[in-house]
């Protein structure tokens, strides 16, 4: 039986902070985020600030022919999730009786380099844990 490999997305991220004003976005130099589970919103930048967290990953042609789920155990909420520059979901922390966050992202994946990004607002609550791509066939 062929076991499909889960792609762990908890490491290898970068973060860009930007200040929100009506007509101006002031970006700061990107910071490396070695482990997403340890990332928190900078307490000096809560009001009128957002953060872009992003990373790349590669998939082969065989990989892209499979169905993939983006699985998130927890994340700051609310957050917007982008895959290859397309907004694919708005994440809200599930309630106790809600199913886990598993989103079919097959339609947005491509052979070669893929880019995932998460936009987190200064008022978002929560932490990242258990972020992965899981093939289902």
The per-residue pLDDT for range 63-103, each reduced to its tens digit, is 888 999 999 999 999 999 999 999 999 998 877 777 678 99
Residue 43 maps to a domain: yes
Q: Which residues pair with 52 in a beta bridge?
A: 16, 119
Domain that holds residue 66: 7-135
d(CA 6, CA 71): 10
Query: What is residue 35's predicted lDDT score, i.e. its pLDDT?
Result: 95
Q: Is residue 106 helix, strand or coil?
A: helix
Beta bridge partners, 42, equal none
Instruction: Give domain status of residue 104, yes or no.
Output: yes
CB atoms within 10 A of CB 132: 15
Q: For the domain that residue 77 is a member of, what is the CATH number?
A: 2.60.120.260
What is the tens place of the pLDDT at every residue in 44-54? 776 788 899 99
CB 69 within 8 A of CB 132: no
* Residue 74 covered by a domain: yes
User: Is residue 2 in some structural domain?
Assistant: no
Number of domains in the chain: 1
């Amino acid at each position: 039986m062929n076991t499909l490999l889960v792609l762990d997305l908890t490491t290898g991220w970068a973060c860009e902070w930007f200040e929100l004003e009506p007509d101006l976005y002031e970006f700061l130099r990107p910071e490396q985020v070695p482990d997403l589970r340890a990332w928190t919103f900078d307490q000096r930048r809560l009001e009128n600030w957002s953060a872009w967290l992003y990373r790349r990953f590669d998939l082969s042609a065989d990989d892209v022919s499979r169905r993939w789920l983006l699985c998130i155990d927890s994340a700051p909420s609310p957050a917007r999730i982008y895959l290859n520059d397309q907004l694919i979901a708005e994440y809200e922390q599930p309630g106790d009786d809600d199913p886990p966050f598993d989103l079919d992202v097959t339609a947005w994946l491509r052979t070669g380099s893929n880019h995932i990004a998460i936009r987190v607002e200064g008022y978002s609550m929560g932490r990242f844990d258990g972020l992965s791509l899981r093939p289902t066939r």
